Amino acid sequence: MRFLYHPDTVLTAFDLENLALELLSEIPIPGVEGCGFDSGVIRQTLLQAAVEQTSIKAVSDDTRGTYSDDYTLTQLHTVPAEELERLANHLLRQQATMILGPTPRIICLDFVDIQYHGCSHLTDGELCHTTPRDGTSKCHRYLAGFVLCRAKPLIVAVTAVRGDESKNDAVERLLDHVVALPFDVVGFLCDRGFYNRGCIQQLRATAPVALPVIGRGERIAEKLETSISYWTEYAMYEGSERELRFPLAVCVPYQQGNRGKHGLLVRAYVACDLADRTPKEVEALYQKRSAIETAFRTMREARARTTTTNPVIRLLFVVVSFLLRNLWLIVRWGVLATPRRGGRALPTWFRFEVFRTWIDHVLGERLVRKWAAQTNGVGIPATYGQLDAG
């Protein structure tokens, strides 16, 4: 990806396709022993399925230069499961190094659920359960972290989450990837899913953390009975061996007619090592986390579809979507954004949709997309075209 450091005067669709394939070339595809195949074609097929948000089968059916979908998936099934997550985080770390530099950053963490209607691949523990949607409560779950940065909100770490493991184990794995990033982490912003003793302990041991409190129980209710913002302390599992104390920021904003609501709204946040801020500043910091919705929406726009039960293939498709989204951000800021005082001016026209369309255009030529189909030689019967004289 050296060309990003010395960009030419013109960025072409071929440049984007080459950059994307260069990223995917880092993912090993050993292949089935004794089967001769071109790994470049496999990666091009995978890339086109991602940018088109379609399946490997759809790409194979629509192009002449690809293998069959069964053959392609057979080769993809040889991607080493034990190496995929390590390699994915290595690539995400490389992308972060390119445009983020050593500036300390805040990391937003979230669980990404991909709804799933099928059966487990090997064991029931592979699948997680979530809020029912689209007729199912089963899902494949991933824990991801992205940098809180307006112009460069890169995804920097990811790990797959099994249904038979605790969230604490997943957080521990992700933190191992986070501490290896090329910058200092000065805070974590997390959602309600991280409100448990183990997660809070691990996160606060690494950096300051802010996350909303789940308002359950009489003791929390008592602390929320206020009309002014204030700092206090809360003890989770008070009086037991599992007791955990942490600073609590109780914030009382006025709703000002937002969504047709008026009056005071009381919210509480776990706010470890953030005592230098007021409760309202803690809430303002946490609300910046809303950018994560855009981050994961664009990720889903570059995820290949599949019906396979293999969690490794599903993780591969998620990793590819993260890498492509990051590549778009890198090109947008590093190559196309106009330098100016106060920060580069991002090109509003270069949307993620445009990025995907350019790559799809080149792949359509390389893989020889079908633009003609054999007709049936019969057509519409002549009697169908006659008007009723009566």
Q: 147: how many CB neighbours lie within 10 A of its CB?
A: 23
- What is the model's pLDDT at position 190? 94
DSSP letters spanning 303-336: --B-----HHHHHHHHHHHHHHHHHHHHHIIIII
Beta-carbon contacts of residue 302 (< 8 Å; ≥ 6 apart): 50, 51, 53, 320, 321, 324, 325, 352, 356
Q: Give the integer Cα–Cα distance in Å for 202 and 176.
A: 11
Q: Taking 90 as the threshold, does the pLDDT of residue 273 lie above it?
A: yes
Separation in Å, CA 8 to CA 4, 63, 346, 374: 9, 31, 18, 43
Q: Taking 60 as the threshold, does the pLDDT of residue 2 lie above it?
A: no
- What is the model's pLDDT at position 7? 62
Q: Mean pLDDT throughout 135-164?
A: 93
The strand pairing partners of 244, in sequence order, are: 236
**Residues 63/320/50/154 CA torsion (nearest 10 deg):** -140
Q: Give the integer Cα–Cα distance in Å for 318 and 32.
A: 23
Q: Token pair of 288, please?
A: 């910046």
| Least confident span in 56-60, 243-247, 375-379 | 375-379
Say which residue, 296 or 62, is predicted with more confidence.
Answer: 62
Separation in Å, CA 82 to CA 88, 90, 183, 315, 316: 11, 14, 26, 12, 12
Task: Look at residue 102 and give its three-state secondary structure.
Answer: coil
Q: Give the integer Cα–Cα distance in Å for 75 and 122.
A: 19
Q: pLDDT tens-digit profile of 321-364?
A: 999 999 999 999 999 999 998 889 999 999 999 999 999 999 99
Cβ pair 106, 189 in contact under 8 A: yes
Name the average pLDDT for the chain.
90
- What is the model's pLDDT at position 156? 95
Q: Is the pTM of this model over 0.95?
A: no
Q: Token pair of 261, please?
A: 């609501």
Q: Taking 70 as the threshold, does the pLDDT of residue 34 lie above it?
A: yes
List the domain boundaries for the chain.
2-339+346-363
Q: Token pair of 263, please?
A: 């009056």
Q: Give the integer Cα–Cα distance in Å for 346 and 298.
A: 17
Say which residue, 387 or 300, is predicted with more confidence.
Answer: 300
Q: Token pair of 380, please?
A: 């519409």
